[in-house]
Amino acid sequence: MEKVAVITGSARGLGRAIATRLSSEGYTIVVHYNKSRAEASEVLGDLRKNSPDSFGISADLKSEKNVDVMFREITDKFGRVDLLVNNVGNFLYKNFNKTTNDEFCDIVESNIYSTFFCSRAVLHLMRKQKSGQIINIGTVGSDTLTVREKSTPYFMAKNALYFLTKAMAWEEAKNGIHVNMISPASLATDIFKPSDFPMGRSARYDDVVKVLLFLISKDAYYINGANIEVAGGFIPGMK
């Protein structure tokens, strides 16, 4: 049976790029989405050319109950998960004193809760398999206490994701499970200019995908609990 990869938030953007490439690498893909049904359907149409058993599933990953239902369906269908990419995590560019309670909770829950719930739901399967990969998507500066004027909650959440990555890797290594993190520089095009980056451009989806492919390869066997920045030397706050 082909390996099964679950990519959260894979109807659009980086998640879609990861799903597309993994499909060409022989993975059966679970396309997760929350509200982007039309985009997910379009992605699946492309993926099924390489992996006909790929399917889509909708869930609000901030809800533990929804996550459990989602992974129960995945388990019933495939009986295994070889790779989980925790890609979901909303971003907010707004002064902290203008950030509402609902916005703050959304940033924290979409970044931390989603990763925690999905990882916990899949780990029992990976322990039985004695193998598995979890890749968490962070952001440049995740491994330091980074205070940013208009993205404080976001960096707080990504700091927590870094700690979670380390803890899970340490606990699960004995079970043959690898947990790593990829932290790109901004993938957005509306906040920074190319000249803001030391190498003259922001990160691209393909930059992240190439690192992910390396981390899940046999060549990266002894890399566990790592955070790899895909940032071209960019440091938040430096000009």
Q: What is the pLDDT of residue 149?
A: 76
DSSP conformation class of 126:
H
Mean pLDDT of 181-207: 85
Does residue 53 fall inside a structural domain?
yes
State the CATH number of the domain containing residue 129.
3.40.50.720
Does residue 202 fall inside a structural domain?
yes
Does residue 236 fall inside a structural domain?
no
SS3 content of the chain, % helix, strand, coil (to 5): 45, 15, 40
Does residue 171 fall inside a structural domain?
yes
Q: What is the pLDDT of residue 147?
A: 74
Q: Residue 189 pLDDT > 60, yes or no?
A: no
Does residue 238 fall inside a structural domain?
no
Does residue 132 fall inside a structural domain?
yes
Q: Is 154 part of the annotated catalytic residue set?
A: yes
Does residue 237 fall inside a structural domain?
no
Does residue 71 fall inside a structural domain?
yes
Domains held by the chain: number: 1
In the chain, the amino acid numbered 203 is A
Q: Residue 190 pLDDT > 70, yes or no?
A: no
Q: What is the pLDDT of residue 188?
A: 66
Mean pLDDT of 32-45: 92
Mean pLDDT of 205-213: 97
User: To the nearest whole number, what is the mean pLDDT of the chain?
Assistant: 93
* Local confidence band at 215 (pLDDT 50, 70, 90 cut-offs): very high
Q: What is the pLDDT of residue 141?
A: 87
Domain extent, residue 128, equals 4-230
Catalytic member of 33, 154, 162, 222: 154
For 65, other C-beta atoms within 10 Å of its C-beta total 10
Residue, of 141 and 184, whose pLDDT is higher = 184
Mean pLDDT of 192-205: 87
For 160, other C-beta atoms within 10 Å of its C-beta total 16
Residue, of 131 and 185, whose pLDDT is higher = 131
